[in-house]
Structure 1
Amino acid sequence: MNSTYFSVNASNDLLSLLFCAALLGLYHVYLAYKVKKRPTYTIQAVNRIARTAWVETIMQERRDVLAVQTLRNSTMAATFLASTAVLLIIGVLTLSGQGANLSTTWHALNMVGTTESSVWLAKLMLLLSDLFVAFFCFSMSIRMFNHVGFMINVPLALNHKMISAQHVALHLNRAGKFYSIGMRAFYFLVPLVFWLFGPHFMVASTILLIFVLYFLDRAPKVMSDDYSE
Structure 2
Amino acid sequence: MTYFFDWLALLIFFTAWVAYTRYASEQGKRYHSLSSIMHHYRMDWMQRLLRRENRVADMSAVGNLERNSAFFASASIFIVAGLITALAASEQVIRLLNEISFVQTGTKALWEAKVGVLIVVFIYAFLSFTWSMRQFGFMSVMIGSAPTPTESIDDSVKRQFAIHGAKVMDLAGRQFNLGLRAFYFSLAVVGWLLGPFWFVAGTAVIIGVLYRREFRSTTLKELIRARGLDPDQRIDRE
**TM-score when normalising by structure 1:** 0.83
- The CA distance in 1 between the partners of 2:197 and 2:19, in whole Å, is 20
Aligned to 1:3: none
The answer to whether 1:123 aligns with 2:120 is no
- The amino acid that maps onto 1:182 is G
SS in 1 for 2:144: coil
Are the aligned partners of 2:83 and 2:115 in contact in 1 as well (CA < 8 Å)? yes
- Aligned Cα RMSD in Å? 2.5
The answer to whether 1:58 aligns with 2:49 is yes
Aligned to 1:34: 27
Aligned to 1:4: none
The answer to whether 1:151 aligns with 2:142 is yes
Inter-CA distance 77–36: structure 2 relative to 1 (3 Å threshold): closer
> 1:204: how far off?
2.3
- The CA distance in 1 between the partners of 2:112 and 2:152, in whole Å, is 56
- Which one of the candidate residues 37, 41, 45 is aligned to 1:46? 37
Which consecutive aligned stretches of 4+ in structure 1 deviate over 6 angstroms post-superposition?
none
Aligned to 2:175: 178
Inter-CA distance 139–30: structure 2 relative to 1 (3 Å threshold): closer
- Among all aligned residue pairs of Structure 1 and Structure 2, give the percentage whose two residues are the same amino acid: 24
Could you report, residue by residue, the CA deviation over 1:153-206 in whole angstroms, capped at 9, with x for unpaired residues? Answer: 324237495982222222111111111111011111101122133222212222
SS in 2 for 1:60: coil
Aligned to 1:17: 10
Aligned to 1:217: 214
Could you report, residue by residue, the CA deviation over 1:37-79 in whole angstroms, capped at 9, with x for unpaired residues? Answer: 32x2x11111122112212211222340111110111111111
> 1:26: how far off?
4.3
Aligned to 1:204: 201
Aligned to 2:127: 136
Q: Which runs of 5+ in 2 are unaligned?
A: 234-238
Between structures 1 and 2, the one with greater helix share: 1
The answer to whether 1:75 aligns with 2:66 is yes
Are the aligned partners of 1:62 and 1:153 in contact in 2 as well (CA < 8 Å)? no
- Which one of the candidate residues 190, 195, 201 is aligned to 2:187? 190
The answer to whether 1:98 aligns with 2:95 is no
- The amino acid that maps onto 1:34 is Q
- The CA distance in 2 between the partners of 1:124 and 1:159, in whole Å, is 56
Inter-CA distance 224–34: structure 2 relative to 1 (3 Å threshold): farther
> 1:33: how far off?
4.6
Are the aligned partners of 1:134 and 1:181 in contact in 2 as well (CA < 8 Å)? yes
Inter-CA distance 106–159: structure 2 relative to 1 (3 Å threshold): farther
- The CA distance in 2 between the partners of 1:67 and 1:196, in whole Å, is 45
**TM-score when normalising by structure 2:** 0.80
- The CA distance in 2 between the partners of 1:221 and 1:68, in whole Å, is 28
